Amino acid sequence: MNIVKINSIGDNCPIPVVKAKKALDALTEAAIVEVSVDNEIAVQNITKMVSQKNLTSTFEKTGENHFVIKIQSGDVVCEATEEAVVTVEKDEKMVVVLSSDKMGEGDEELGKVLIKGFIYAVTQLDKLPKAVLLYNSGVKLSAEGSDSMEDLKALEDQGVEILSCGTCLNFYGLSDKLAVGKVTNMYSIVEELAASTITIRP
């Protein structure tokens, strides 16, 4: 049986899960996917994803900060992928709202790491949102110097609208520093939210 090895040592969440999922989705025949990670949280996250795909996995600790997850894959992966595509409603409209340049309450630096991981995770969704709405300090994410610039541009390149509140850009002195997407207004933001069938807020 083929063995596919994935090195995710040093990768922040959610990259280990994304790498494992991509490897599984790319398989055309039965194989074992081995994922190397450096923390137990990554092990738990990958194991949960594998379980959701109705696959089996085992893991072993091979060093102080080294774990190897072995995923047994068969035809189930392809069937699950096809079903997911079929069940997507054509008129579904998903909008992502970023109202802060941090995610959650507590440590500011951790919040910035989390929001970066969140935006990256959005780029990896099977069905991308119609739009990403940024307001209040969220507009800092679409301005020059943002750690999430590459991911937002990747979304825009795939047809996702990146819309930043003009009043907010002006308030933070970023009106001339918008680096991705377009300037919008509160009425348009309300229209986007009213028309959405799914709204995701970190």
Asked if residue 81 has pLDDT above 90, the reply is no
Asked if residue 78 has pLDDT above 80, the reply is no
What's the pLDDT band for 91 if we cut at 50, 70, 90? low
Asked if residue 88 has pLDDT above 60, the reply is no
Domains and CATH numbers, the chain: 2-85 (3.30.110.40), 94-200 (3.40.1260.10)
pTM: 0.70
Question: Residue 58: what are its φ and ψ, rounded to 5°?
Answer: -135, 160
How many CB atoms are closer than 10 A to CB 125?
12
Q: How far apart are CA 188 and CA 173, in angstroms?
A: 21
Residues 135-160: what's their mean pLDDT? Answer: 96
What's the pLDDT band for 82 if we cut at 50, 70, 90? very low
